[in-house]
Amino acid sequence: MNLANRNLVTIDDLSNSEIEALFSLADEMANSPNEQAGLCQGKIMASLFFEPSTRTRLSFEAGMLRLGGRVITAVDIGASSLAKGESLADMARVVGSYANIIVTRHPWEGAAKVVADYAGVPVINAGDGSHEHPTQTLCDLYTIRKERRTLKGLRIALWGDLKHGRTIHSLIYALARFGATILFRPGPGLEMPEHVLRRLSTEYKGELKRYEAVNQEVEEGLFPIDAIYMTPSSPHQLAMLPDVSLQVELKAGVDALYVTRLQKERYAPTVEAQELKKGYPVVDKKLLKGKEFKKTLVMHPLPRVDELTHEVDADPRSMYFKQAAYGMPVRMALIALLLGAKEITIPEKDDSFALKPDYPVYKRDSGVKCPNINCVSNQETEARYIKPEFKIVSREPLTLRCVYCDHELHPRYVASSDWHEGRLENKRYHSADSHFARKIKPENLIIFASENEAQTQQFKPSSYVRQ
Ligand code: NCD
């Protein structure tokens, strides 16, 4: 099978079997890194890194050089034409005419999708704001696979800034797909975003259970977690173990502890940010003495700050430098595949847990915007050409998911473009939760940001508008 010309914007762009095959190729690259120089000769990779990076950029660039290709780099928005107000789309088109493959990192969520939509060459997302960082996830999974052979049934704890950690968001979807049990240990106020949780329980078939974290700590003397997610290796596990499930899970031991730093660049330096820092959980020698961590792999995407003490480095359970080193063979394999320099064989049957539902898409000029101010679709330079676009992920309640950043919104007013007998006096809008609104076919649905918006477009309230 050929992955040539594909993009990697979200971890869901690769199936489980494709990831497994990529790992076999990464093994080949790791075993003979000096013998790959013929693979990408004559090819150019553009690395566009508009946020700080050491490991990701350098492992991509070193990987491309080892594959015999060459690299061009832009690392500073201020030194690129983006600073003059150029759009990402224009930049992508231009760079796509110079390079055979693009790796990009940008602070806006959804930026990598825009680059991929316009570049005309394969695009790899090396981090877009708080959204996703799929190649870090490949390194993380590769590390766990190397140490534990499988991901299925493992108990993996995600630690720290679950709200803004893009490595966390890509990793969680992949872990769910590979059948891991996920334990959540957020810093206070840094819980997993609702849209991520919703997607976990609707698209990956698993079961999510929330806990009162603070009580758990007091009662059990165990490290407090605020939620647990189980993939469906045996259905309804949590339902069958209502209150004891947490203790059972923790006592059986944690296979990997995935620590992340407070993503301080995503906050304004306010008093609130100071508070977040103060309450941030730390992984140190003392914590790792706990029984449940006896055989735990201690992981971190790096860079670390204060959340993982240096005393842990000498502990054989620490994996983070290995994890970073694996970045090169994993990224070499990815570049070689997307450039069509290597092919992979994958089994017919792919046992991904993702349902990949085919949601209807909503794309109209009716005033609805993504609620995420950091979404690429809300930026001045990009809003000139990007039309907000959403997947209609639920009708009850009406839920739209932004195709760029995955944030969700619940609009309150809708209409049908197919109004009764085409007569203007029948141009009515309705409450989105009315039974009439739910009957409107997706292709006819018009969604309003507010009642005012509906009235500006000459719609009148129907009797299905709740006051
Ligand atoms: C991560 C990132 O950039 O999201 N770093 C990395 O690529 N290894 C994690 C982080 O910055 O905290």
Is there an atom of ligand 1 within 6 Å of 302 CB? yes
Q: What is the mean pLDDT of residues 245-266?
A: 85
- Going by C-alpha positions, the residue among 422, 401, 387, 417 that lies closest to residue 117 is 387
Q: 51-92: per-residue pLDDT in tens? A: 999 999 999 999 999 999 999 999 988 888 888 899 999 999
Among 64-73, 98-107, 222-231, 394-403, the minimum mean pLDDT is found in 222-231
Residue 258 dihedral angles phi and psi, to the nearest 5°: -100, 100
CB of 166 within 6 A of ligand 1: the answer is: yes
Ligand 1 geometric centre to CA of 324 (Å): 11
- C-alpha 160/C-alpha 258 separation (Å) is 9
pLDDT of 218 reads 46
Nearest atom, ligand 1, residue 105 CA: 3
Average pLDDT on 378-403 reads 95
On whether the pTM is more than 0.85, the answer is yes
More confident: 422 or 34:
34
Is residue 301 lining ligand 1, measured as CB closer than 6 Å?
yes
In the predicted structure, residue 172 carries a pLDDT above the cut 90: yes
Of the listed ranges 45-49, 55-59, 184-188, 231-235, the least confidently predicted one is: 231-235
pLDDT at 242 over 50: no
127 C-beta closer than 6 A to ligand 1: yes
Of all protein residues, the one whose alpha carbon is nearest to atom 8 of ligand 1 is 301
pLDDT band at residue 341 under the 50/70/90 scheme: very high
20-54, pLDDT tens digit by residue?
999 999 999 999 999 999 999 999 999 999 999 99
Q: Which among 131-140, 417-426, 427-436, 454-463 has the top mean pLDDT?
A: 131-140
CA of 303 to the centre of ligand 1 (A): 6
Question: Does the CB atom of residue 130 touch ligand 1 within 6 A?
Answer: no
Of 6-20, 228-242, 262-276, 373-387, the range with the lowest mean pLDDT is 228-242
Taking the CA of residue 260 as reference, the ligand 1 atom at the shortest distance is 12
The C-alpha angle with vertex 132 and arms to 101 and 328, in degrees rounded to 5, equals 50
CA of 435 to the centre of ligand 1 (A): 45
The best mutation among 167, 259, 321 to test binding of ligand 1, ranked by most ligand atoms within 8 Å of the C-beta, falls on: 167
Amino acid at 280: Y
Choose between 248 and 309: higher pLDDT: 309
Any atom of ligand 1 within 6 Å of the Cβ of 136: yes
Question: What SS3 class is residue 229?
Answer: strand
- Within 8 A by CB and 6+ apart from 12, the residues are 173, 354, 356
Q: Largest alpha-carbon pair distance within the chain?
A: 76
Kindly tell me if the per-residue pLDDT of 392 is higher than 90.
yes
**Mean pLDDT (the chain, rounded):** 90
pLDDT at 175: 95
153, 244 contact by CB (below 8 A): no
Q: For residue 133, which atom of ligand 1 is closest to its CA?
A: 4
The beta strands (E) that lie in 286-419 are given as 297-299, 361-362, 390-395, 398-402, 408-409, 413-416
Is residue 205 very low, low, confident or very high in pLDDT (cuts 50, 70, 90)? confident
